[in-house]
């Protein structure tokens, strides 16, 4: 990749205000939407990876009701010649691998992971637009939503740190008693809590720096006014996330 192609990326990382002075936020809306889509995909894949990590800690089986067998009252009221008897000759319980059950449970959150980035993006765009107006700026709606999309970039950093920390914390964990699974996992994750907290704070600081520079250009605000307009709602979001 040529130096000229890398220059916008370096400028974005070093001085967002200068980057958005050259590339007006509203004009970058398609790129911002692509970043939100990429984050949604990354979150879905992360849930699958976390499910695999947790499943890998399980070394046990669980006895559970056989889903292929009808309720007991159906089998008691109908004989083998009844069409309702189908499945009644199956065992009442089956043994399931606990790891498989954990992985299946993780997939229940895939829908939330896919939708969450878009919800946060929409809310973030509206908040940025309103905050800039309250600061006596002249933001564009497209620019505000573009900046909210660009705020996804620091989230990739936090996601990577979180996955690496989880992999480290769970690498030597083996659970042979599924009933104590949550307790064991919680104890294993306790040492990485400070790492996750630092990653969250750094992500918020990066987003503040990025959004303040972008809002300064999009809403024609001073650096201080843009920083305050972004800082207040972002600080509230950070406190909620750390609570």
Checking if the pLDDT of 203 tops 80, the result is: yes
Q: Give pTM, 2 decimals.
A: 0.87
Report the interhelical angle of 141-150 vs 110-134 (nearest 10°).
130
Residue 1: pLDDT band (50, 70, 90) is very low
- pLDDT for the residue 78: 65
Supply angle C-alpha 90, 91, 93, rounded to 5. Answer: 135
The whole-angstrom separation of Cα 52 and Cα 46 is 10
In the predicted structure, residue 65 carries a pLDDT above the cut 90: no
DSSP letter for each residue of the chain? --HHHHHHHHHHHH-HHHHHHHS-GGGGHHHHHHHHHHHHHHHHHHHHHHHHHHHHHB--EEEEE-TTS--HHHHHHS-TTSGGGTTTTS-SEEEEEHHHHHHHHHHTTHHHHHHHHHHHHHHHHHHHHHHHHHTT----HHHHHHHHHHTHHHHHHHHHHHHHHHHHHHTT--BS-GGGHHHHHHHHHGGGHHHHHHHHHHHHHHHHHHHHHHHHHHTT--HHHHHHHHHHHHHHHHHHHH-
Instruction: For 125-174, write each residue's pLDDT tens digit.
Output: 999 999 999 999 999 999 999 999 999 999 999 999 999 999 999 988 88
Condensed to tens digits (0 to 9), the pLDDT of residues 67-86 reads: 777 777 676 666 665 665 66
Could you tell me the two tokens for 111? Answer: 């829908």
- Split at pLDDT 50, 70, 90, the class of 234 is very high
State the chain's maximal CA–CA distance in angstroms: 83
Taking residue 92's Cβ as centre, other Cβ atoms within 10 Å add up to 11
Q: Which two tokens stand for residue 14?
A: 């070093």
pLDDT bracket for residue 98 (50, 70, 90): confident
CA angle 222, 224, 225 (to 5 degrees): 65
- What pLDDT is stored for residue 225 in this prediction? 94
């Amino acid at each position: 990749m040529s130096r000229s192609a890398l220059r916008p990326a370096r400028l974005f990382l070093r001085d967002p205000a200068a980057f958005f002075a050259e590339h007006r936020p509203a004009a970058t809306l398609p790129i911002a939407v692509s970043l939100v889509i990429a984050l949604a995909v990354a979150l879905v894949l992360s849930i699958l990876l976390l499910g695999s990590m947790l499943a890998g800690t399980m070394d046990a089986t669980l006895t559970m009701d056989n889903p292929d067998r009808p309720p007991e009252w159906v089998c008691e009221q109908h004989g083998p010649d009844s069409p309702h008897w189908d499945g009644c000759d199956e065992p009442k319980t089956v043994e399931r691998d606990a790891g498989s059950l954990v992985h299946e449970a993780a997939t229940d959150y895939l829908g939330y992971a896919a939708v969450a980035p878009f919800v946060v993006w929409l809310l973030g765009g509206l908040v940025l637009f309103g905050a800039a107006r309250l600061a006596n700026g002249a933001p564009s709606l497209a620019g505000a939503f573009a900046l909210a999309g660009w705020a996804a970039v620091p989230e990739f950093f936090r996601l990577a740190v979180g996955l690496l920390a989880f992999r480290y914390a769970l690498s030597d964990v083996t659970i042979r008693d599924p009933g104590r699974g949550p307790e064991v996992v919680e104890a294993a994750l306790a040492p990485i809590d400070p790492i996750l907290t630092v990653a969250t704070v750094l992500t918020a600081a990066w987003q503040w720096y990025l959004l303040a520079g972008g809002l300064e250009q999009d809403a024609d605000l001073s650096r201080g006014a843009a920083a305050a307009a972004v800082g207040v709602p972002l600080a509230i979001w950070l406190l909620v996330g750390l609570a």
